[in-house]
């Protein structure tokens, strides 16, 4: 996450918010790299 956001606080916070939202939606506590990639693809990279 640090590498993706290059340590930018607002971007890191946004990425974490999307990850927490995903975890809450799926009622999970553990997140994976696949989850991070999903969030980046769906929420960060706009097509």
User: Domain spans of the chain?
Assistant: 2-44
Q: Is the pTM of this model over 0.75?
A: yes
Q: Are 5 and 12 in contact (CB under 8 A)?
A: yes
Dump pLDDT digits (tens) for 1-47. 888 889 999 999 999 999 999 999 999 999 999 999 999 988 877 75
Residues 6 or more apart whose Cβ sits within 8 Å of residue 15: 1, 4, 5, 36, 39, 40, 44
């Amino acid at each position: 996450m640090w590498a993706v956001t290059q340590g930018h606080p607002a971007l890191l916070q946004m990425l974490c918010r999307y990850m927490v939202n995903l975890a809450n939606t799926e009622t999970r506590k553990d997140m994976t790299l696949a989850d991070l990639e999903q969030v980046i693809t769906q929420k960060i990279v706009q097509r």
